[in-house]
Amino acid sequence: MKPAAFEYVAVRTTEEALAELARDGQDARLLAGGQSLMPILNMRLATPRRLIDLNRVGELAYIRAHDGGVAIGAMTRQRAVEKSALVARCVPLLADAMPWVGHFQIRNRGTIGGSLAHADPAAELPAVAACLDARVTVRGPAGTRTLTADQLYWTYLTTTLAPTEILTEVWFPTAPSRTGHAWLEFARRHGDYALVGVAAAIMLEEDSVAEARLALTGVGARPVRARDAERRLVGRRPDDAALADAAERVKQVTEPQSDIHATAEYRRHLAGVLTLRALRLAVARARQAPPVTT
């Protein structure tokens, strides 16, 4: 299928994009890598009157150390994030999850901002952002605001961004020392969206869990943070009984939906299995983790 006719404008700065959105907001869509938007247009699930192309906005493509973490411009290609030595060193969970986003051809075009703004509840990056308490910067006519993943995600493919706003940056905190991370997911074919994915981060002190972070994708309308399971781990030795207890809690509290890809029961089972495996891997990595500096 072909998209319905639309006007096209290529902007060169964020300011220009904001001005275009201010004029046309309700009827316009931002074009980033096009890896989700173009299929949507081709299937005529969206018929915007105007596309505002961000691909020439160089100021939105960067990865840099900032404020005790790593700041990534919205138009940074997913492949650049995957290949970044700074990301691998400081935000290993993001580096772990990146190769699971589609295929490398998709990651060559797809952007980190597009993936976060698209808000697919089966996508990897929103769950990583939720797990690490990433901060998303948004610019609009009223100025700049900063959101957590919890504040950004509303429901299926829907964020709290206004049509006149642009997601400009995402910031991830540097992993504290003695922290291990793991991203695990299960998809029917490599490159497909995950049926279920789990992000885990474990910080150890002596041999007890000082901090635990768990977030899941594919089990709800938005990324799900498993805070109850996290609380169960804190202060305990991370032996198999403790990890299995947390994984069981995740299984009990997640409420996935059945769809053409998997039943709710199967997704719940996967959530438990993958959480246990991700926790074991995160603990093993935490025990070997060197100190991290940005």
Ligand X SMILES: Cc1cc2nc3c(=O)[nH]c(=O)nc-3n(C[C@H](O)[C@H](O)[C@H](O)COP(=O)(O)OP(=O)(O)OC[C@H]3O[C@@H](n4cnc5c(N)ncnc54)[C@H](O)[C@@H]3O)c2cc1C
Site for ligand X (CB under 6 A): which residue of 11, 18, 37, 198?
Answer: 37
Question: Residue 130 and residue 217: Cα distance in Å, rounded?
Answer: 10
Interface size with ligand X, residues (CB under 6 A): 29
Residues in region 44-83 near ligand X by CB under 6 A: 74
- Minimum distance, C-beta of residue 167 to ligand X, in the bound complex (Å): 4
Say whether residue 110 binds ligand X (CB under 6 A): yes
CA distances from 130 to 60, 216, 221 (A): 22, 9, 14
Binding mask 226-255 for ligand X (x = CB under 6 A): ------------------------------
Say whether residue 36 binds ligand X (CB under 6 A): yes
Q: Which amino acid is at 69?
A: G
Which one of 24-32, 221-229, 250-258, 266-274 is the stretch in contact with ligand X (CB under 6 A)?
24-32
Say whether residue 209 binds ligand X (CB under 6 A): no
HSE (side-chain half, CA atoms, 13 Å) at 250: 37
Which one of 88-96, 99-107, 143-151, 169-177 is the stretch in contact with ligand X (CB under 6 A)?
99-107
- Minimum distance, C-beta of residue 283 to ligand X, in the bound complex (Å): 26
Nearer to ligand X, 111 or 174 (CB): 111
Say whether residue 102 binds ligand X (CB under 6 A): yes
Question: What is the b/e burial string over 213-239, where b = at least 16 CB atoms within 10 angstroms of the residue's CB?
Answer: bbbbbbbbbbbbbbeebbebbeeeebe
Which one of 83-91, 98-106, 141-149, 198-206 is the stretch in contact with ligand X (CB under 6 A)?
98-106
Residues in region 135-194 near ligand X by CB under 6 A: 161, 166-167, 191, 193
Nearer to ligand X, 30 or 200 (CB): 30
- Minimum distance, C-beta of residue 31 to ligand X, in the bound complex (Å): 5
Question: Residue 240 and residue 227: Cα distance in Å, rounded?
Answer: 19
Site for ligand X (CB under 6 A): which residue of 114, 180, 223, 238?
Answer: 114
Report residue 288 CA to chain centroid gap: 26
Interface contacts to ligand X, rule CB under 6 A: 29-37, 74, 101-102, 106, 110-111, 113-115, 117-118, 120, 123-125, 161, 166-167, 191, 193
